[in-house]
């Protein structure tokens, strides 16, 4: 059995008072309790999974979801640079980027930028380009 690394976990925010009460009642630890409850839910709802709608592929950028087919652009020294979201990845000039800030940096000459301020987005159902900063509000 391998020991999980910190990269194998996510943070799930719960109210502090609830966490304190769970910690008081569960000597094995809150994480173990929450994992047990979640696995129980997964087991009980296994037959219902096929009835659920399939999640669309795309990229989650904070609270903004960019489905496959989304185009992302920036203008740098008078030239438009356009990336796409495909297969759940951000792709520009044959390279894959793990974040929008990484993409903005690459598209804008390896300079530091606020991706929300310098990128525009056109999702598959959008009629035109929209500022990323506008879309996140």
Question: Taking the domains of the chain in order of start, what are their residue ranges?
Answer: 13-51, 58-135
The predicted-structure confidence for 80-110, as pLDDT tens digits, reads as follows 999 999 988 999 999 999 899 999 999 999 9
Query: Taking a C-beta distance cutoff of 8 angstroms, is the pair 131, 120 a contact?
Result: yes
Query: Could you say which residues of the chain have pLDDT below 50?
Result: none
Q: Directed axis angle between helix 30-44 and helix 16-25, to 10°?
A: 90
Listed in sequence order, the residues at least 6 apart from 77 whose beta carbon sits closer than 8 Å to its beta carbon are 109
Terminal-to-terminal C-alpha distance of the chain: 45
């Amino acid at each position: 059995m391998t020991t999980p690394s910190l990269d194998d976990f996510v943070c799930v925010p719960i109210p502090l008072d609830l966490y304190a009460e769970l910690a008081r009642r569960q000597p094995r630890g809150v994480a173990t309790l929450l994992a047990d409850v979640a696995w129980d839910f997964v087991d009980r709802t296994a037959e219902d999974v096929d009835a659920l709608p399939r999640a669309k592929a795309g990229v989650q950028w904070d609270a903004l979801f960019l489905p496959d087919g989304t185009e992302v652009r920036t203008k740098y020294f008078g030239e438009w640079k356009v990336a796409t979201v495909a297969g759940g990845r951000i792709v520009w000039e044959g390279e894959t980027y793990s974040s929008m800030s990484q993409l903005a940096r690459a598209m804008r000459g390896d300079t530091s930028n606020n991706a929300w301020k310098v990128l525009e987005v056109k999702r598959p159902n959008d009629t035109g380009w929209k500022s990323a900063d506008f879309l996140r509000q």
